[in-house]
Structure 1
Amino acid sequence: MKFGLAIPNCHGDFADIHLVSEVAYEAEQAGWDGLFVWDHIGDKWGDEVLDPWVMLSAMAMRTRTVRLGTMVTPVTRRRPWKLAREVATLDHLSNGRMILGVGSGGGIEYVNYHEPGDAKTYGERMDEALELLSLLWNGERISYAGQYYQIENVRHLPRPIQQPRIPIWVGGVWPNKKPMRRAAQWDGVCPIGKGVGMTEQMTPEQAHACFDYVRSQQSPEQVTEDYACVQWGILDGKDRGHDAALVSVYAEVGANWWIENLSWERGSLQELRPFIHQGPPVHS
């Protein structure tokens, strides 16, 4: 099991770039394996919002070994070619540590900014965008004519350090099947449960059903490859034995990444620092 932290890019001192970069350093020293940031541009949680790519750049400069990524980026809110450049540049800045978490997004971040599309087409647009990302990262000269995106005679260099591509983890709400079928075709799945709040998590039974379904949608070749099954988790932080036992239950049902869901509902980032300093409950 690998252990990561998901850090909001909004609300209170989670939007303090200096504090976030310092906490990133402390988290690596404490033994966490990954640091992931939310990707919001303006939402129901308030006006204090940091840009996730600047956050990740600051975190990359303060760390050396932890994986870095978004959890998750609403791909259809961004131009795929700009996103490809940003993530590839971060892969170089971090010496090959980037992971791109993606989702279809929606809500007021689309409506209030008059973003094109609707809930029915976000998934279709996302599929094209992910295909484009993979093509642009291979460093070859390409043209692409999709329903939603078109480019002509384009080449992106330098290629990311990670090949054949930067890992793409797909988020979605379980038990919705369509995003899970999409996730099966990429490098990882990071589900959230329908109706599960920010201080709650999917049960082991729900996680097992989700991971089994994703695996059932993969080819025999895909099943043998490394694949991230993420539990978006909540640890108590007070009883290390209890936390270790809880993690083992999720490991038994297929989770191989535990990403701790930090949020202001559990306290400010400053208040959560002692929890972060403890590190994971078991060694990865």
Structure 2
Amino acid sequence: MQYGFIIPRGNVHEILELTQEAEEAGWDGVFYWDGINIEVVGEMYDPWAVLAAMAVRTNRVRIGAMLTPPSRRRPWKLARETVTVDHLSHGRLVVPVGLGALDDGGFGKVGEVTERKERAQLMDESLDILTGLWSGQPFSYHGQHYQLEEMTFLPPPAQQPRIPIWVVGAWPAQKSMQRVLKYDGLLPTAAAPGEHGNLKPDDIRAMRAYIEQNRTSTTPFDIIWEGETPGDNRAQAAEIVKPYIDSGITWWMESRWLTPDLDVIRTRIRQGPPRIV
């Protein structure tokens, strides 16, 4: 069982300070997020520049951005960015992906695709291209949206057989869950709009059973869940986390998206992860 912390805000120097504090406090992963322009948030930074800095300021923790929408990232550029950060971190990068939040002006305000079905198609093709270019072998691609003449991208990632990809899976949508089976981790959500917060441990248990029954790969697979725990009450934190651990998650992500006070976030980081002894 591993525990990560998502840093939701702060200027770029504060983000790096919090990253180092999280590693020192015993968290297993430190994550930023991928956004272009969300006006209510205020200060935002390019995730790949931030992750590169996080990579060289830490030694142990997993790093990544929660999460990247491949539909608005050129997959060959994303391949270069991810491999670079993977090498800088000596193989500690994770790539969480999903359709993305449309309240980001990086979609509708700049003419990117917003229709759900087409974003899903772009994500599937982008992941095919990403993993193909990561191979370090000659690769070409002919899809509905992307056409690539043969290219070889070197170096390949530090991690082999590839950088882990965590994919949003909407339960119980078969197409969404079948996509998850091809990769290395599940970010659970509900298929019905607005129902993500209503997923319960029993839903996670059902998703885990589906993956165990249908996934053919024998490589490691993670199930990731976000939530909040009190850092000053270990017993209460354990009560919150334990049902999800029992349901099959392998990562608990401490997320404070709505916490405006950076000092509160820093205090929670310093208190360390809600490990169950």
* Fold agreement, TM-score > 0.5: yes
The answer to whether the Cα contact below 8 Å between 1:92 and 1:161 also exists between their aligned partners in 2 is: yes
Q: What residue is the counterpart of 1:143 in the other structure?
A: 140
Answering whether residue 191 of structure 2 is matched by residue 195 of structure 1, we say no
Q: CA deviation at 1:247?
A: 2.2
Answering whether residue 239 of structure 2 is matched by residue 242 of structure 1, we say no
- The farther-off stretch of 210-219 and 182-191 is 210-219
Q: What residue is the counterpart of 1:22 in the other structure?
A: 17
The answer to whether the Cα contact below 8 Å between 1:191 and 1:232 also exists between their aligned partners in 2 is: no
The residue type equivalent to 2:205 in the other structure is H
The residue type equivalent to 1:249 in the other structure is P
The residue type equivalent to 2:110 in the other structure is Y
Taking the aligned partners of 2:198 and 2:114, their CA distance within structure 1 comes to 30
**Partner of 2:36: helix, strand, or coil?**
coil
Taking the aligned partners of 2:114 and 2:275, their CA distance within structure 1 comes to 44
How many residue pairs match? The answer is 273
The residue type equivalent to 1:278 in the other structure is Q
Q: CA deviation at 1:52?
A: 0.7
Answering whether residue 252 of structure 2 is matched by residue 258 of structure 1, we say yes
**Partner of 1:163: helix, strand, or coil?**
coil
- Which of 23, 26, 31 aligns to 1:31? It is 26
Q: What residue is the counterpart of 2:271 in the other structure?
A: 278
TM-score normalised by the chain length of structure 2: 0.91
Which deviations, in whole Å up to 9, do the C-alpha atoms of 1:62-120 show, x marking residues without a partner? 11000011111000100000000000000010011000000122524311110146212
- Which of 149, 152, 155 aligns to 1:155? It is 152
- The farther-off stretch of 16-25 and 151-160 is 151-160
Taking the aligned partners of 1:218 and 1:99, their CA distance within structure 2 comes to 20
Taking the aligned partners of 2:7 and 2:173, their CA distance within structure 1 comes to 25
Taking the aligned partners of 2:38 and 2:199, their CA distance within structure 1 comes to 24
Answering whether residue 98 of structure 2 is matched by residue 99 of structure 1, we say no
The residue type equivalent to 1:239 in the other structure is N
Correspondences of 1:1-284 after superposition (within 5 Å): 1-8=1-8, 14-43=9-38, 45-105=40-100, 107-108=102-103, 109-116=106-113, 118-193=115-190, 195=194, 202-219=199-216, 222=217, 224-263=218-257, 265-282=258-275
Distance 1:174 1:230, change over 3 A: same
The runs of 5 or more residues in structure 2 that have no matched partner are none
- Percent identical pairs in the alignment equals 42
Taking the aligned partners of 2:236 and 2:246, their CA distance within structure 1 comes to 16
Taking the aligned partners of 1:214 and 1:45, their CA distance within structure 2 comes to 37
The residue type equivalent to 2:79 in the other structure is A
The answer to whether the Cα contact below 8 Å between 2:34 and 2:67 also exists between their aligned partners in 1 is: yes
TM-score normalised by the chain length of structure 1: 0.89
Q: CA deviation at 1:280?
A: 1.1
Distance 1:156 1:76, change over 3 A: same
